A = this chain, B = another copy of it.
Amino acid sequence: MTTIVHTDPKTNQELMDFLGSRARNAAAQLAKLNPCVKNDALLAIAKAIDDRAAEIAQENQRDIDKAPEYGLTDAQIDRLRLNDKRIGEMIMALRQVAELEDPVGSIFDMKTRPNGLRVGRMRAPIGVIGIIYESRPNVTVDAGALCVKSGNAVILRGGKEAFHSNTILAKIMNEAGSGAGLPANAVQLVPTTDREMVGLMAKADAFIDLIIPRGGKGLIERVVQEATIPVIKHYDGICHVFVDAHADLDMAVMIAVNSKTQRPGVCNAMETLLVHKRVAEEYLKRLALTLQKKGTEVRGDARTRELIPWANEATLEDWSTEYLDNILSVAVVESFDDAVQHINRFGSRHTDAIVTRDYHRAMRFLREVDSACVFVNASTRFSDGGEFGMGCEIGISTDKLHARGPMGLVELTSAKFVVFGDGQVRQ
């Protein structure tokens, strides 16, 4: 297959080919870099962001000014804003990624075969990663840093509402990065927010090895429909806590309250609480007191509403809704099996927890719940690359293949087989 690459792209397709071929060149060079070059470049980028914070704030203000035009809510505008604290966090993230162990080239699972061949796996970059995301501009820096550190070139396609912020951040990453030894175009931002580019990226199999869409269901479904490249989906989290008949109810109150209210607007917050009927009365009455103090809206099934009179009615839609808000749907279930079935049916395969003292049920829950992260006796809020000890994360995959759950540096690599021989031939 030959693709003619235009150096002065005029159409979106020409632009895609242009960005793609530049990324392929960058990827070939990135794959060979020593860890210290990549780390120095990340630190240089951190310094440049610090030095140019005023410029970043200024470009960010242009996005904020335009936000009402795009109909953004106050919460969305807040997520868009790059204040000193958030710029500081981006700098921290870069320094943290620089300190993580470099996965590229590491060899594992080495075995010696009877004929003396030594067979192992070696971590190698994937190549070119395409990331399609909405709103938060810090993703530009976090995802860029993780891709570069894992030896991959990246093409970023951010949302229109963060366009100026993303543009200045990508520009600084490239200028500071290439000054410190990164190949040119290691990190590229698609310089248009024309929606056609999403489809073109998803089909650019000559140039992109993996597409990661992060954001709303509509965006992800569109990418999946159009893609001819592997996609790792990052759907949102409809997380459950199941309070078993054998739960320690004090612990179950603590875990449910923390899972729901510690930070309701994030993907690992609980959206639905399931309670075994044998403990429903005692448990829900105790829980209701705390939830009321926390100002949580409860939407319950019939049995829940008997026990919590101030609860609203939950509709079928509630069971598959990610509120990202201080709202909780609650159902009383007949059995352990019903709880597992509810989770596998309505959940988003993100993170689900059981509270129980029963060993057998704990082990069954871990096996039978078909989710990326399954917890026993802990808050769903721990579902996070940092909390799992992986350093930063590029997101939380709700897919089953390649990366499931928090996706860090290792998940941005492939594992090839390496074979060390001394002249072996097959008989």
Which chain A residues have a beta carbon within 8 Å of chain B's beta carbons? Answer: 31-32, 105, 111, 113, 117, 119, 122, 124, 126-127, 205, 209-210, 224-225, 228, 230-232, 248, 251, 254-255, 257-259, 262, 366-368, 370-379, 381-383, 387-389, 399-402, 404-406, 414-426
- Residue of chain B at shortest CB distance from A365: B418
Q: Which among B382, B399, B421 is the interface contact of A424 at CB below 8 angstroms?
A: B382
- Residue of chain B at shortest CB distance from A116: B378
With known contacts A366-B122, A376-B420, A113–B401 Cβ distance under 8 A: no
Give the Cβ gap from A206 to chain B, nearest Cβ, in Å. 13
Give the Cβ gap from A386 to chain B, nearest Cβ, in Å. 10
> In the docked arrangement, what's the CA distance between A419 and B31, Å?
34
A127 near B400 with CB under 8 A, answer yes
Give the Cβ gap from A416 to chain B, nearest Cβ, in Å. 6
- Residue of chain B at shortest CB distance from A111: B389
Give the Cβ gap from A369 to chain B, nearest Cβ, in Å. 9
- Residue of chain B at shortest CB distance from A221: B228
Q: Which among B117, B205, B230, B399 is the interface contact of A378 at CB below 8 angstroms?
A: B117
A119, A122, A228, A416 — which one has the most chain B CB atoms within 10 A of its CB? A416
A400: chain B residues at CB < 8 Å are 126-127, 209-210, 414
Give the Cβ gap from A112 to chain B, nearest Cβ, in Å. 9
Sample of 16 A–B contacts (CB below 8 Å): A113-B388, A119-B389, A230-B401, A255-B423, A366-B418, A373-B416, A374-B418, A375-B419, A376-B419, A376-B421, A378-B422, A378-B423, A379-B424, A382-B419, A402-B402, A406-B417
How many copies of the chain does the oligomer comprise?
Answer: 2
> In the docked arrangement, what's the CA distance between A257 and B425, Å?
9
A254 near B382 with CB under 8 A, answer no
Give the Cβ gap from A347 to chain B, nearest Cβ, in Å. 13
Give the Cβ gap from A152 to chain B, nearest Cβ, in Å. 11
A262, A376, A421 — which one has the most chain B CB atoms within 10 A of its CB? A421
- Residue of chain B at shortest CB distance from A226: B228
A405 near B421 with CB under 8 A, answer no
With known contacts A126-B400, A379-B425, A382-B426, A374–B419 Cβ distance under 8 A: yes
3 smallest CB-CB distances across A and B, nearest first, come from: A378-B421, A258-B425, A400-B414
> In the docked arrangement, what's the CA distance between A196 and B370, Å?
31
A421: chain B residues at CB < 8 Å are 375-379, 382
> In the docked arrangement, what's the CA distance between A354 and B255, Å?
56
A262: chain B residues at CB < 8 Å are 425-426
> In the docked arrangement, what's the CA distance between A423 and B387, Å?
15
> In the docked arrangement, what's the CA distance between A212 and B142, Å?
33
> In the docked arrangement, what's the CA distance between A228 and B226, Å?
8
B32 near A423 with CB under 8 A, answer no
A405: chain B residues at CB < 8 Å are 416-417
A388 near B417 with CB under 8 A, answer yes
A419: chain B residues at CB < 8 Å are 373-376, 378, 382-383
> In the docked arrangement, what's the CA distance between A193 and B368, Å?
35
Give the Cβ gap from A340 to chain B, nearest Cβ, in Å. 10
A230 near B399 with CB under 8 A, answer yes
A379: chain B residues at CB < 8 Å are 421, 424-426
- Residue of chain B at shortest CB distance from A379: B425
A105, A122, A258, A382 — which one has the most chain B CB atoms within 10 A of its CB? A382
> In the docked arrangement, what's the CA distance between A257 and B402, Å?
36
B382 near A117 with CB under 8 A, answer yes
- Residue of chain B at shortest CB distance from A376: B420
A418: chain B residues at CB < 8 Å are 366, 373-376
A258: chain B residues at CB < 8 Å are 425-426
A370: chain B residues at CB < 8 Å are 31, 124, 127
B416 near A371 with CB under 8 A, answer yes
B31 near A423 with CB under 8 A, answer no
> In the docked arrangement, what's the CA distance between A232 and B399, Å?
14
Give the Cβ gap from A116 to chain B, nearest Cβ, in Å. 9
> In the docked arrangement, what's the CA distance between A417 and B389, Å?
12
A210: chain B residues at CB < 8 Å are 400-401
A375: chain B residues at CB < 8 Å are 418-419, 421
